[in-house]
Structures are given as structure tokens and as C-alpha cells.
Amino acid sequence: MAGMYSAKVMDHFANPRNVGEMPDATCVGEVGKTKCGDILRMYLKIDNDVIVDVKFLTFGCGAAIATSSMATELIKGKTVAEALTVTNKAVVEALDGLPPVKVHCSVLAEQAVKAALSDYYTRLGIDPEPIVGKLEGDCHDCHGSCGV
């Protein structure tokens, strides 16, 4: 297994950053489906339009854990607008790549950021869709390839 993943993926899987719940979160986003095997919940603490803290819980494969961890690292300390520009491609690149069959895990991480920010705008009484975009309803056709 380790041979198909970069050292960064293995590090974020074995030592994930920002894991846990956040009872005082400003907003929360949850994405994924049990049929896929990956579910990701992301908590954001936002102060003055800056993500000052972020936590996540992931139920899924090693790649799902690693991409969740990396996504939190990419958005922590960023403004909300900057966090909205983080893409699954950026997550994959920051991890030095993923096997093609696991790229959907990075999409899940991107969607979790957007889902949390959608919740943020909703809590502010602002329609999130023009800002965040339409949230996807599925985990991008992984066909159960994630495993658990």
C-alpha cells in the first residue's frame, strides 16, 4: 500500500493534522455517502473573516484522511475568500499526488470546505450559492473504491 502513495500522503494519514470536533465552531460542513465509504465533517472557527481554527473528522480510507488533513492545513489562517479558492487539484498537488482511483477523496475535501463555508454564509443570513456555488450531492462516482 505505501508504495502507491507519496511520503506526504503517508505522513498525513499516519499523523493527521487538525483532527477532532470543535464544539464552538462558527460553521460545520459534512459531505460524503456511506455507500462510498467516505464521510467528512469539517469544523471552522472564523474570526474577522479569517479561519483561525479548523478541525475534521473523517470516516474513510487513508487517502480520505490524508486529503482531509491537507485541506485543513491549506485553509487554516486564510480568509474565507482565500479558502474558497482551494481546489481538489491543490490538495492533490500539496500531497505530491494520489493514485487516480483516489483523486475523488480530494474532491470530498474541497466539497467539505465549501459545505462549511456554505453553512457560514447561511448562519449570517446570506444565500451561499452565489458565493460558494452549488454543493454536489454525491461523492463523485467512486463506486465504492475507497474502502474503509
User: Which CATH number covers residue 78?
Assistant: 3.90.1010.10
Active site annotation includes 36 = yes
The total of structural domains in the chain comes to 1
Q: Determine the residue type at 128.
A: P
Domain span at 119: 2-132
27, 61, 105, 139: which one is catalytic? 105
Please give the model's pTM, rounded to 2 decimal places.
0.87
- Residue 146 has a pLDDT of 41
36, 139, 142, 146: which one is catalytic? 36
- Residue 2 has a pLDDT of 56
Sheet with 38-47, side-by-side order of all strands = 27-33, 38-47, 50-59
Residue 139 belongs to a domain: no
3-state secondary structure 82-98: HHCCCCHHHHHHHCCCC
The mean pLDDT values, 10 residues at a time, for the chain of 148 residues are 82 96 97 79 97 95 92 98 95 92 85 96 96 72 42
Do 77 and 42 meet the contact criterion of CB atoms below 8 Å apart? no
Residue 138 belongs to a domain: no
Burial 64-85 (b: 16+ CB within 10 A, else e): bbbbbbbbbbbbbebebeebbe
